[in-house]
């Protein structure tokens, strides 16, 4: 969340401000996770986000739930172990948006020695109590099919397991679950000021669409602002912290998929960075990431040509089919708000998270530094526990065994669920059924509604986008703009032509508010 200065607008309504237990600033993965955890323990919660949910860093990741193989080089054993354990927890909680993926690591003799790679993979297999995912195996890339696209000078490889995640949907589903447990989720609502008044915070929130201001009193305040965490500490709350955040830019490119099979690849660069080359959206590949210190405005981040060239060169070092700049379909960049541990190399900066609980002035302020998607649930659990002194009667931790909305697939078996969905709706094309099953899981039927044929899904905008899905996203997932729908709630933007995207945007802008209300 980027807490810009509040626009001019009406002053708060006269009268006493209502009191809630907790206000969470920031609608990324950490903020949404904390709001969900706290609401599930019985606290009254408001989550406010200046923009759309996951509009910043949390929709611009590498889309992985992983232990972080390379973090072992920096002796981050606790973090890797926690992430590996969480990998299994998250896979069970949302099998529709998280699924296993096998990664092929071609060995480059000029980089890390084979014994070191084998040792790292052995630890990776055993540190986290792996239960559901297959272990590591050694590959002969000259014979095994996974080696077919790899250049002939890379003859040895390794294959290991991690998981894929739809990152933006993970945020939305946490917000959905928080709301189902009583939290109030306010998108496009900036926390414009927060000041202590004894044992409470007086929090001013400003609707960035209308300028209308609202005040509440909160018994505790959580700053999960990500790249804006330090700005919120100083400008919004008027407090200080001895901890700092270090902004590191990570960029990705999207290209046509250039190999057969469902496996992903992990390649080593001479600068010791590793690059992921992952299947993406069926016929595409997602390649990244870079690690560059960043000092600009987080909302203005974008991949530059040097980064794109760097990623292309990494691919071309390992693969037979040379990748050209003209094949880059799209790119995106995110700012990682890493806890500043003083490391000189951006790649060596810890991906762990750190809390700063400030209770010196009365009501507590919990600032969250760092973190990664894989450990968000544990971060939220530990963060809310830090507030037990303020809320001694709140419930125990509960999220480890809970599913996210749509994640309660029978037996956690996605393929079986997809088969059942196709059986129940024989008129539904399998690719469309798979799309609904992947994004909405057991709630796919709510998207389809009472439709008995394709026409019943309403207007078709191209690709797999039908009006019924748009109505669902506006009614249940806080989608308010065409971009919310095309790039974050879904990835339809990658599958529509420019003309189709423009036509959908024009239609959506003209779609009356009454229709959006009726979509509920």
For residues 151 and 256, membership in a common domain is answered with yes
CATH number, residue 47: 3.50.50.60
Backbone angles phi, psi at 230, to 5 degrees: -70, -35
CA distance 23 to 135: 42
397, 423: one domain: no
Q: What percent of the chain has pLDDT over 90?
A: 84
Q: Which of 68-77, 159-168, 190-199 has the lowest mean pLDDT?
A: 68-77
Banded pLDDT at 270 (limits 50, 70, 90): confident
Tell me, yes or no, whether 291 and 440 share the same domain: no
Q: Which ranges of 66-166 would DSSP assign to H, the alpha helix? A: 77-93, 114-126
Is residue 76 included in any domain, yes or no?
no
Q: Is 362 helix (H, G, I), strand (E, B) or coil?
A: coil
pLDDT range class, residue 416, cuts 50, 70, 90: very high
**In this model, does residue 491 exceed pLDDT 50?**
yes
Separation between Cα atoms, residue 203 and residue 209, nearest integer Å? 19
Structure tokens at 476: 């249940």
The answer, yes or no, to whether residue 20 has pLDDT greater than 80, is yes
Indicate the residue among 401, 418, 437 that finishes a domain.
401
Give 396-443 as a DSSP string. PP-GGGPPPTT---GGG-HHHHHHHHHHH-TTS-HHHHHHHHHHHGGG
Nearest to 374 by CA among 64, 31, 130: 64
pLDDT digits (tens, 9 = 90+) for 284-305: 999 999 999 999 999 999 999 9
40 within a domain of the structure (yes/no) = yes
The tens digit of pLDDT for each residue in 391-415 reads 999 999 999 999 999 999 988 899 9
pLDDT confidence of residue 3: 39
* Residue finishing a domain among 359, 383, 401: 401
Do 105 and 130 belong to one domain?
Answer: yes
Q: What is the pLDDT of residues 21-39, one digit of tens each?
A: 999 999 999 999 999 999 9
Q: What percent of the chain has pLDDT over 70?
A: 94
pLDDT given for residue 15 in this prediction: 63
What's the longest Cα–Cα distance across the chain?
A: 75
123 within a domain of the structure (yes/no): yes
In this predicted structure, what is the pLDDT of residue 343? Answer: 67
Can you give the CATH number for the domain in which 282 is found?
A: 3.30.9.10
Same domain, yes or no: 451 and 501: yes
Query: Residue 39, Cα to own-chain centre: how many angstroms?
Result: 20
CA separation for the pair 478, 176 (Å, rounded): 9
pLDDT at 516: 55
pLDDT at 206 over 90: yes
User: The tokens 């003083």 sit on which residue?
Assistant: 342
Cα distances (Å, whole numbers) of residue 101 to 194, 198, 273, 372, 413 = 44, 51, 21, 19, 15
Q: Which of 219, 217, 223 lies closest to 238 in space, CA to CA? A: 223
> Does the pLDDT at position 310 exceed 90?
yes
The answer to the question of residue 209 being in a domain is: yes
Average pLDDT across the chain, whole number: 93
For residues 516 and 475, the answer to whether their CB atoms sit within 8 Å is yes
pLDDT reading at 127 higher than 70: yes
**Rounded distance, CA 142 to CA 29, Å?**
41
User: Is 213 found in the same domain as 181?
Assistant: yes
Among 361, 382, 401, the domain-final residue is: 401
Q: What is the pLDDT of residues 149-194, one digit of tens each?
A: 999 999 999 999 999 999 999 999 999 999 999 999 999 999 999 9
314 has pLDDT over 50: yes
CB 240 within 8 Å of CB 251: no
Check: CB of residue 286 under 8 Å from CB of residue 280. Answer: yes
Query: Distance (Å, rounded) from C-alpha 3 to C-alpha 77?
Result: 35
How many whole angstroms separate alpha carbon 421 and alpha carbon 414? 10
DSSP alpha helix (H) spans, 280-366:
305-318
For residue 480, give the CATH number of its domain. Answer: 1.10.8.870
Q: How many residues does the chain have?
A: 520
Identify the bridge partners of residue 140 per DSSP, sorted by sequence position.
156
CA neighbours within 13 Å on the CB side: how many for 441? 25
What confidence tier does 501 reach under pLDDT thresholds 50, 70, 90?
very high
Residue 19 parent element (H or E): strand 19-25
- Per-residue pLDDT tens over the stretch 317-371: 999 999 999 999 999 999 999 888 776 667 667 778 999 999 988 899 999 999 9
Q: Are residues 456 and 511 in the same domain?
A: yes
pLDDT digits (tens, 9 = 90+) for 49-59: 999 999 999 99
The dihedral through the CA atoms of 405, 410, 414, 418 has a sign that is negative
Contacts of 434 (CB under 8 A, 6+ apart): 418
- Any domain includes 386: yes
The stretch 235-247 carries a mean pLDDT of: 92
Terminal C-alpha separation, the chain: 27
Number of independent structural domains in the chain: 3
Is 239 part of a structural domain of the chain?
yes
Decide which of 515 and 490 is more confident.
490
Q: Whole-angstrom Cα distance, residue 258 to residue 365?
A: 49
Question: Angle between the 430-440 and 414-424 helix axes, to the nearest 10 degrees?
Answer: 130
- Residue 62 falls within a domain, yes or no? no
**Domain extent for 457:** 410-518
Query: 3-state class of 274 per DSSP?
Result: strand
| Residue burial 97-131, b: 16+ Cβ < 10 Å; e: rest | bbbbbbbbbbbbeeebeeeebeebbebbbebbebe
Higher pLDDT, 117 or 494: 494
Question: Chain-centre distance of CA 5, in angstroms?
Answer: 26
Contact call for residues 365 and 219 (beta carbons, < 8 A): no
Task: Please report whether residue 3 resides in a domain.
Answer: no
Please indicate, yes or no, whether residues 120 and 262 belong to a single structural domain of this protein.
Answer: yes
Same domain (yes/no): 147, 119: yes
485/388 same-domain check = no
Angle between helices 77-93 and 114-126 (to 10 degrees): 50
pLDDT at 361: 81
SS3 70: helix
Q: Identify whether the C-beta of residue 160 lies closer than 8 Å to the C-beta of residue 102.
A: yes
Is residue 286 domain-shared with residue 434, that is, in the same domain? no
Confidence of residue 229 (pLDDT cuts 50, 70, 90): very high
Q: Residue 144's pLDDT is what?
A: 97
- Band (453; pLDDT cuts 50, 70, 90): very high
Q: Is the pLDDT of residue 2 over 50?
A: no
Residues 425, 293 share a domain: no
Long-range contacts, stretch 429-436, CB < 8 angstroms, 24+ apart: 429/454, 431/464, 432/464, 432/466, 435/464, 436/469
- pLDDT, position 11: 44
């Amino acid at each position: 969340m980027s807490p810009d200065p509040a626009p001019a607008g009406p002053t708060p309504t006269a009268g006493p401000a209502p009191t809630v237990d907790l206000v969470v600033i920031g609608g990324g993965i950490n903020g949404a996770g904390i709001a969900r955890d706290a609401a599930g323990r019985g606290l009254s919660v408001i989550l406010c986000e200046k923009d759309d949910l996951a509009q910043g860093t949390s929709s611009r990741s590498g889309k992985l739930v992983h232990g972080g193989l390379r973090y072992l080089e920096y002796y981050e054993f606790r973090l890797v172990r926690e992430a590996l354990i969480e990998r299994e927890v998250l896979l069970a909680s949302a099998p529709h948006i998280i699924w296993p993926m096998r990664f092929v690591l071609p060995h480059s003799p000029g980089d890390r020695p084979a014994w070191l790679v084998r040792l790292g993979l052995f630890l990776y297999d055993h540190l986290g109590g792996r239960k559901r995912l297959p272990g590591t195996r050694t590959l002969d890339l000259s014979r095994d099919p996974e080696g077919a696209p790899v250049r002939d000078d890379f003859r040895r490889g390794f294959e290991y397991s991690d998981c894929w995640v739809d990152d933006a949907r993970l945020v939305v589903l946490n917000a959905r679950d928080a709301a189902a447990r009583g939290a109030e989720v306010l998108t496009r609502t900036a926390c414009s000021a927060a000041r202590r008044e004894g044992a409470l915070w007086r929090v001013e929130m400003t609707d960035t669409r209308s300028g209308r201001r609202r005040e509440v009193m909160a018994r505790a305040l959580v700053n999960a602002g990500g790249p804006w965490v330090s700005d919120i500490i100083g400008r919004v709350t008027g407090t200080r912290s001895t901890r700092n955040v270090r902004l590191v830019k990570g960029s990705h490119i999207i290209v046509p998929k250039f190999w057969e099979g469902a496996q992903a690849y992990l390649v080593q660069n001479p600068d010791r960075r590793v690059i992921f080359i992952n299947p993406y959206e069926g016929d595409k590949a997602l390649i990244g990431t870079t690690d560059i210190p960043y000092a600009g405005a987080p909302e203005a981040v974008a991949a530059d040509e040097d980064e794109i060239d760097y990623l292309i060169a990494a691919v071309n070092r390992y693969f037979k089919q040379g990748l050209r700049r003209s094949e880059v379909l799209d790119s995106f960049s995110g700012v990682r708000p890493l806890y500043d541990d003083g490391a000189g190399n951006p790649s060596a900066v810890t991906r762990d998270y750190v809390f700063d609980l400030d209770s010196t002035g009365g009501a507590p302020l919990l600032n969250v530094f760092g973190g990664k998607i894989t450990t968000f649930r544990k971060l939220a659990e530990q963060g809310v526990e830090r507030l037990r002194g303020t809320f001694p009667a709140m419930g125990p931790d509960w999220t480890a065994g809970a599913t996210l909305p749509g994640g309660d697939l029978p037996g956690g078996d996605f393929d079986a669920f997809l088969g059942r969905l196709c059986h129940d709706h024989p008129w539904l094309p399998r690719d469309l059924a798979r799309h609904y099953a992947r994004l909405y899981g057991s709630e796919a039927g709510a998207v389809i509604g009472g439709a008995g044929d394709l026409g019943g899904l309403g207007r078709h905008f191209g690709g797999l986008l039908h009006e019924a899905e748009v109505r669902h996203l506006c009614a249940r997932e806080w989608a308010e703009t065409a971009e919310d729908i095309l790039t974050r709630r879904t990835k339809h933007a990658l599958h529509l032509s420019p003309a189709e995207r423009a036509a959908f945007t024009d239609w959506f802008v003209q779609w009356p508010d009454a229709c959006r209300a009726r979509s509920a």
